[in-house]
Structure 1
Amino acid sequence: MLDTTTTRFSHVKPGQTLWRGEGLRDFFLYRDLGVADATNGQVIAQLVKANSAPEKGTGWHRHEAQFHLVYMLKGWARFMYGDQETLVEAGDMVHQRPGIVHFLFDYSPDMEYLEIVGPADFGTVDVEGPCPVPAPGAWPAA
């Protein structure tokens, strides 16, 4: 049976939540979609977009999460998942299995993705990488 006592209905319109720089990475902006509050921290849904050009990327890390989904809305990003380079483009969806070691090392200036993670207060642990990472490309001059 569905538990309706620990979660609430939520409806967030564009503009009701603002882009903010206070998130996991200072080179991204984040926009909360109200799901963490509605689920009492069981799940977070947020939009993530590029804020500045990639210099060093995210570094090798893994998340302490039970579920992690990335759906690319605009642009593209290049990840290393273990020793596998993966290009994620607009319309692509990635399910990051729990504990997968990865590195986001390059992305387009218009990159924007939807991220859904459970639990909402998931942890991030820096780790040693299994292989070298390609250098990011240069962004076009503004």
Structure 2
Amino acid sequence: MKFNISHADQSEFSYDGLRQYFEYRDLGIKEATDGKAVMHVIRAREGTNATGEWHYHNLQLQIVYVLKGWAIFEYEGHGQHKIVAGSCVHQPPGIRHREIAHSDDLELLEIVLPGEFETISLGQ
């Protein structure tokens, strides 16, 4: 493992993440941990909306912490939940979920193990 520091730089956000309606800023954890984990800031992409597509991830750990704004997620067997700044969600491996809506200023911090994981889309 390697030492890593990441400083806020708004120009480091990119559109090449899992969802087209989000921008992602990699925090360097994947490289620092040799792929054992990934950590990034996710923010709403201007002029886009959630698609509401059901999906799940093949992974070991997924934690989401809301930095600002809000989002509404639905989790199979647990219903809809509005998460707001300060909310922390542990999404167990394999839980089926979807995003229904989010605020224009949404920003999340997400931690996932391992750094590479599979997402299975289930459609609307």
Are the structure 2 counterparts of residues 79 and 8 from structure 1 closer, same or farther at C-alpha, using a change threshold of 3 Å? Answer: same
Structure 2's unaligned 5+ residue stretches are none
RCO comparison, higher one (Cα < 8 Å, 6+) = 2
Q: What secondary structure sits across from 1:37 in the alignment?
A: helix
Structure 1's unaligned 5+ residue stretches are 1-6, 130-142
Are the structure 2 counterparts of residues 10 and 103 from structure 1 closer, same or farther at C-alpha, using a change threshold of 3 Å? Answer: same
Query: 1:1-142 residue pairs with structure 2 within 5 A?
Result: 7-15=1-9, 18-51=12-45, 52-54=47-49, 56-57=51-52, 59-83=53-77, 84-127=79-122
Are the structure 2 counterparts of residues 16 and 109 from structure 1 closer, same or farther at C-alpha, using a change threshold of 3 Å? Answer: closer
Per mean C-alpha deviation after superposition, the further-off stretch among 13-22 and 46-55 is: 13-22
Alignment root-mean-square deviation, CA: 1.6
Percentage of matched positions with identical amino acids: 39
Larger % of strand: which? 2
Q: Number of matched residues?
A: 122
AA matched with 2:51: K
Name segments (4+ residues, structure 1) moved above 3 Å.
none
Per mean C-alpha deviation after superposition, the further-off stretch among 13-22 and 112-121 is: 13-22
TM-score (norm 2): 0.92
CA distance in 1, matches of 2:10, 2:50: 31
